[in-house]
Amino acid sequence: MGNNVSSERLWILDTESATAIVAAGTEVIVRKIVFIPGAVSDDVVIQEYDSAGAARSAIVLKASPAAAEPMVIDFSPNGRRLNGFILSTKDAGTVYIYLGKD
């Protein structure tokens, strides 16, 4: 399918990438993340850029080793602000990123 980042409210990500979905210096506000793993122990690592321009881990999810159940992180209405956005690691499954403050 490939990553779908055309909406300003919801991104549907199924492919990791070493390159940024959003470049350094651009704010991304993540309100909620829903990860539907494809198998047990699947990983997701979302990176942002630090002040020196290096990528660093910002959000990490790991599915249970016993069951591939959906995982949800809710950052509340104000969300979590990231400097850029890279989906650096994603095993099987799909990640839904809900964006914006409201």
* Domains in the chain: boundaries: 10-99
Give the 3-state DSSP-derived string for the chain, with helices as H, strands as E and coil as C: CCCECCCCCEEEECCCCCCCCEEEEEEEEEEEEEEEECCCCCEEEEEEECCCCCEEEEEEEECCCCCCCCEEEECCCCCEEEEEEEEEEECCEEEEEEECCC
Summarised one tens digit per residue, pLDDT across range 47-75 is: 999 999 999 999 999 999 999 999 999 99
pTM: 0.93
Fold of 10-99: Jelly Rolls (2.60.120)
What pLDDT does 18 receive? 83
